[in-house]
Structure 1
Amino acid sequence: MSTVSSQAARERRVAVVTGGAGAIGGAIAARLATDHTVVVLDRTGDVPVDLGDPDDVHRAAGSVLDRYNRCDVLVHAAAMTGFGPFEGYELHLWRQVQAVNVESPLLLAQAFTPGMRERGFGRVIFVVSNTFWRPSGAHMLAYVASKGALVGMTRTLAVELGAHGISVTAVAPGLTRTPATDVVPTAEFDEVAAHQAMPRPLVPDDSAAVVAMLAGDSGAALTGQVLTVDGGLVMR
C-alpha cells in the first residue's frame, strides 16, 4: 500500500449505525460505506448489542472505541415499535420502547461525542418518523412519543454541541417499503402515496441518501433540523 493510500485509510471516518441489520439502517450503512468505515450495532451486527439494556449499550460503545479508537458519525436508526392500545398498555413495554428508541442513542452520544469534541468534527443523526407530525393510525402512543423525544434531543443537543464542530440532525421517513411494513396492505401504501406531493412509494434508500448527505462535509451548516423524507406528505 502506498504512503498516500495508507494515510487515507488512517483518516477514514468511522460511522456507527444502530439498526444496521434493518432495511433503512442497512441502506444507510451501505451508503456510508463508500466514504466511511461503518460499524453496525444490532443484535446481529458487527458489534452485537441489546439496545434495550443500558449495560450492554455501554459495553458495545466501549468495544467500538477499543477496536476503532473513534466514532465520527453516529446514526441511530434502530427502533422498537411496541404498538398496542392505550388502554391497558403495560408500563414495562413502554419502558422497553423508550430504552431502545431514546435512551440508547443518548448513551451512545455520551460515549462518542467526547472524541468528536477533541477532533472538532462530529455528526449525530437520529432517524425519527413523520408520524410525530401525522400519526397514521391508532396504537402508536409509545412509538410516536419516543420519536418526539428524539426530535427534542436533536434540537437541544445541537445547541450544546455546535460550538465543538458537532452537528445534530434528524431524518423523518414516511411510510417506507421494508420487510417490517410488509403487513401493511398495498391499498394503504397507495392511499398514503396519493396524498404525497410526489405520489410514489418510498424506499429505504430515499432516507439513506439524506443521511449520507448529513454525514458528510456538505451537511456542515445543517444542525438542529429535522428533514422529513416522505415525498411531501408532511410540510413544515
Structure 2
Amino acid sequence: MSENERVAVITGGSGAIGTAIATALQASGYRTVTLGRRGGDIRADLTTQAATRSAAAEVLEKHGRVDVLVHSAAIIDQMHLHELDADRWRAVQAVNVEAPLWLAQAFTPGMIERQFGRIIFIASDTLWSPPGGEFLPYVASKGAMMGIVRTLAMELGGDGIAVTAVAPGLTDTPIARSVNDPAQLEAVVATQAMKRALVPEDTASAVAFLASEGAQAMTGQVLVVDGGSTMR
C-alpha cells in the first residue's frame, strides 16, 4: 500500500449490501477492508466490545490507517413489546449502535491527524415508517444511530471528519428474499415513486458519493435511498 492510499473499512462486508459498498469504494480508489462475523477480510464478532476493539486493532496493525468507516452490519431481531427481553434487546443495540462507536474511537485519532475522515452509517427508512411493531429493537437502534450521526458531526467536523448516513428501503438481497415472499416485495415496490426493486448498488452508490471529495460540505445528514417510498 502506498503511503497516501486511503483505506475504507466496511462492517457487514460479506453481506449483499456490504459487498456492493466495498466494490463501489474500490472503484473510487479506496483500499477496502471488510469485517464480518462469518466472512470478510477480518472476522469480527461485533456483539462484544472486546471483540470489536480487537478487530479495530487488527485493522490498524495490518493497514496502518483508516480513512473511511462504513457501518453496514446489523441485527434485525423481530420482537413485539410483550416479547422483549434484555439479552436480545442488548444484542441488537450492541451491533447496530455500540460497535460503530468503538470502531470510531479507534479510527478517529488517525483521521484527526490527517484532517480527513468519513464515517457513514447504514440506517433504514423504517425509522420513519416502521413496517410493524415487531421491528421495535431494530427501528429503535436506527433512531439512536441518527442521534449519533448528528452529534458526532458536531464533534468531529472541525477536524475534517464528516459523519453521515444512508437510509435504504427494502432492498432485494438474499436475506430480504428469505423473509419476504415475492408478493411482499412487490407490495413494497408499489409504495415507491420509482417502480423498481431496490438493489444493493443503490445504497453503495450513495455511500461512494458520501466518501468522495464531492461531498466534503455534507455532514450530519441522511440520504434516503428508497425509490421515493419516504419523502422527507
Is TM (by shorter chain) over 0.5?
yes
Match of 2:184 among 169, 182, 188: 188
Tell me, yes or no, if structure 1 residue 37 matches structure 2 residue 31. Answer: yes
Match of 1:67 among 56, 62, 65: 62
Q: Percent identity of the aligned residues?
A: 54
SS of corresponding position for 2:82: coil
Aligned residue number for residue 226 of structure 2 = 230
Q: 4+ runs of 1 displaced by more than 2 Å?
A: none
TM-score normalised according to structure 2 size:
0.96
Per-residue CA distance 1:24-74 (angstroms, 9 max, x = gap): 111101111121110001122211110001101111101111111110000
Per-residue CA distance 1:55-106 (angstroms, 9 max, x = gap): 0111110111111111000000000011122203111000000000000001
Per-residue CA distance 1:111-150 (angstroms, 9 max, x = gap): 1011100000000000000000011123100000001111
Counterpart mapping for 1:122-161 below 5 A: 122-161=117-156
Alpha-carbon offset, residue 191 of structure 1: 1.5
Tell me, yes or no, if structure 1 residue 77 matches structure 2 residue 92. Answer: no
Structure 2: state its 5+ residue gaps.
Answer: none
Tell me, yes or no, if structure 1 residue 218 matches structure 2 residue 211. Answer: no
Aligned residue number for residue 24 of structure 1 = 17
SS of corresponding position for 2:35: strand
TM-score normalised according to structure 1 size:
0.95
Aligned residue number for residue 113 of structure 2 = 118
Tell me, yes or no, if structure 1 residue 13 matches structure 2 residue 6. Answer: yes
Determine the C-alpha separation between the residues in 2 that align with 1:210 and 1:80: 22
Determine the C-alpha separation between the residues in 2 that align with 1:163 and 1:197: 38
RMSD of equivalent CA atoms? 1.0
Determine the C-alpha separation between the residues in 1 that align with 2:105 and 2:216: 21
Alpha-carbon offset, residue 186 of structure 1: 1.4
Aligned residue number for residue 3 of structure 1 = none
Aligned residues: 229
Determine the C-alpha separation between the residues in 1 that align with 2:166 and 2:181: 25
Determine the C-alpha separation between the residues in 2 that align with 1:233 and 1:41: 30
Match of 2:194 among 194, 198, 222: 198
Determine the C-alpha separation between the residues in 1 that align with 2:45 and 2:77: 16
Structure 1: state its 5+ residue gaps.
Answer: 1-5
Aligned residue number for residue 92 of structure 2 = 97
SS of corresponding position for 2:3: helix
